[in-house]
Structure 1
Amino acid sequence: MPLVTTADLISTATAARQGLAAFNVITLEHAEAIAEGAEEAGAPAVLQISENAVRFHGGDLTAVAAATAAVARASSAPLALHLDHVVSVDLLERAHAAGFGSVMFDASKLPYGDNVKATAEAVRWGHERGIWIEAELGEVGGKEGEAPLDAHAPGVRTDPAEAAAYVADTGVDALAVAVGSSHAMTERTASLDHGLIAALKSAVPVPLVLHGSSGVPDEEIRRAVAAGMVKINVGTALNTAFTTAVRAFLAADPTAVDPRKYLAPARTAMTETVAGFLRLL
């Protein structure tokens, strides 16, 4: 079916008080698994390509975006295409031509004033082209090259009053907040601050986004959605399923050389992971 927009899926999820899962794409098998998992679960999903993934593909956004979009269009599930954790203005400005309806522009590493200025400019540019813009305030941590973040460290979590001012000053369409999760967690042991989620929901007039959801247990995710979290980002859980399946296959058949032999079970494992998160939401 034709691509839908993240904005439309977010609007539907918000009205239904449900969560919307967004999964990160690295390889073609990731995209296929997300589409198949969404079909199995009978649920919509967002296919995200991060700046790190674009860098992995030699900096060429066009090819990986075209392949991901082709998989999404061939699916019977409602799927959207989103560009994730963009720090480069050049990459942001390539999003529209590559077919993205939404971008997460990440200026969270900048001082607060610079973050506001850069994000407001990204929002202005995006809105002129009909692109929905997500941003981040707080320190979720754990991205590539970063040490795992202590999600309980002072000053890490998003302040509701600052979040309200940030949204007003930037005009963002959604806000990723730091409430106790961290990127790149391979065990689901994160404990979220549900009181803070509720406070942010009351203070901020746009949908809230949970990054690092791979490390969050099912019940914590359910409670987070009930408290007001809408977009639920999942990346590492797919990579863990992929790699575990490949390792198991090669351990059982160390002479195998045809990558199709081990990529097939890896794709199946990711499909099951996707379907599990979608059924949860």
Structure 2
Amino acid sequence: MPLAPTGELVTRAAAARAAVAAFNVITLEHIEAVIAGAESARSPVVLQVSENAVRYRYGRLLPLARAAVAAAEKAAVPVALHLDHVQSDELLRQAAGAGFGSVMYDAARLPYAENLATTRAAADWAHSQGLWIEAELGQVGGKDGHPPLDAHAPGARTDPGRARDFVTGTGVDALAVAIGSVHAMTTRTAVLDHGLLKRLSAVLTVPLVLHGSSGVPDGQLVAAVGGGIAKVNVGTALNIAMTGAIRAFLAAHPEAVDSRKYLGVGREAMAHEVARIIGVLRTAPA
């Protein structure tokens, strides 16, 4: 089927007090696993390509993007394509032509005024191209001369009043909020601030996004969706599943040299994790 618009999937989820799962992909095996897992769960899904993944692929966006588009068009469930954590304006401007329906523009590293102005310009351009745009806001820097704290640094939190002003000032379609999750966690020990999430949900009219969800326990994820999170980003959990399966296979088969054997095992493990996470999100109260 044709690519699904990310904005439609997320807006529909937000209206139902549910969440759509968004998985970061690096290889073709990631793409295939995410779609297989979503098909198994009979659920729409978002494929995400980050700026870091593009950098890994020699800085070339199109090869992975075209593979994602081709796979999505053959999927039995709606699949959206999202360009994630974009800091480069040059990369941002490749999004529409590469088949992406949405982007996450990441200027959270900048002081608040610069973040707002830069994101406003990115949102204006994205909307002119028909793209849905997500941004993020963590702890605002500048107090007592301290620099901005990255939105995913331990201790970073999004202030509800500042978030409301940021959304109004930038015109973004969704906001990723800092409520206790951290990128690239390999243990599921994050503790979310559900009281803060409730306050954010009360003052914001756009869908809320949770980044760094691989480190969040199932119960915390369920509570976050019930509290207003409408898009849940997952990346490291897939890499843990893939790497663990490949390590086990190679340990059991030290003679193996055919990459299809161990990559296939890794792909299957990722597909199971995708289906599992989607199942967890579905248990959230409407």
| TM-score band, normalised by shorter chain | over 0.9
Q: Matched residues in 2 for 1:133 and 1:3: separation?
A: 17
Q: Deviations over 1:203-242 (max 9, x none)?
A: 1111100000000011101100111111000000000000
Once the two structures are TM-superposed, the CA of residue 58 in structure 1 deviates from its matched residue by 0.7
Q: Matched residues in 1 for 2:11 and 2:120: separation?
A: 22
Q: Deviations over 1:60-102 (max 9, x none)?
A: 1111100011111111011100000000000000001001110
* Letter matched to residue 28 of structure 1: L
Q: Which residue of 2 aligns with 1:239?
A: 239
* Letter matched to residue 157 of structure 1: R
How does 1:8-157 map onto structure 2 within 5 Å? 8-138=8-138, 151=154, 153=155, 156-157=156-157
Q: Matched residues in 1 for 2:175 and 2:54: separation?
A: 23
How does 1:155-234 map onto structure 2 within 5 Å? 156-234=156-234
Task: Tell me, yes or no, if the aligned pair for 1:148 and 1:183 is still in contact at 8 Å.
Answer: no
Taking structure 2 as the reference length, the TM-score comes to: 0.93
Percent identity over paired residues: 57
* Letter matched to residue 73 of structure 1: E
* Letter matched to residue 52 of structure 2: N
Q: Show structure 2 runs of 5+ residues with no match.
A: 140-149, 282-286
Taking structure 1 as the reference length, the TM-score comes to: 0.94
Task: Tell me, yes or no, if the aligned pair for 2:182 and 2:215 is still in contact at 8 Å.
Answer: yes
Shift in CA distance, 11/148, structure 1 to aligned 2, threshold 3 Å: closer
Q: Matched residues in 2 for 1:236 and 1:259: separation?
A: 22
* Letter matched to residue 129 of structure 1: Q
Q: Matched residues in 2 for 1:15 and 1:52: separation?
A: 31
Shift in CA distance, 214/78, structure 1 to aligned 2, threshold 3 Å: same
Task: Tell me, yes or no, if the aligned pair for 2:105 and 2:133 is still in contact at 8 Å.
Answer: yes
Q: Matched residues in 1 for 2:254 and 2:89: separation?
A: 44
Shift in CA distance, 148/112, structure 1 to aligned 2, threshold 3 Å: closer
Corresponding residue pairs, total: 271
Once the two structures are TM-superposed, the CA of residue 42 in structure 1 deviates from its matched residue by 0.7
Task: Tell me, yes or no, if the aligned pair for 2:158 and 2:179 is still in contact at 8 Å.
Answer: yes
* Letter matched to residue 195 of structure 2: G
Shift in CA distance, 51/264, structure 1 to aligned 2, threshold 3 Å: same
* Letter matched to residue 2 of structure 2: P
Q: Show structure 1 runs of 5+ residues with no match.
A: 140-146
User: What is the DSSP-based 3-state SS (H/G/I as helix, E as strand, rest coil) of the residue aligned with 1:271?
Assistant: helix
**Greater than 6 Å deviation, 4+ residue runs:** none
Task: Tell me, yes or no, if the aligned pair for 2:138 and 2:152 is still in contact at 8 Å.
Answer: no
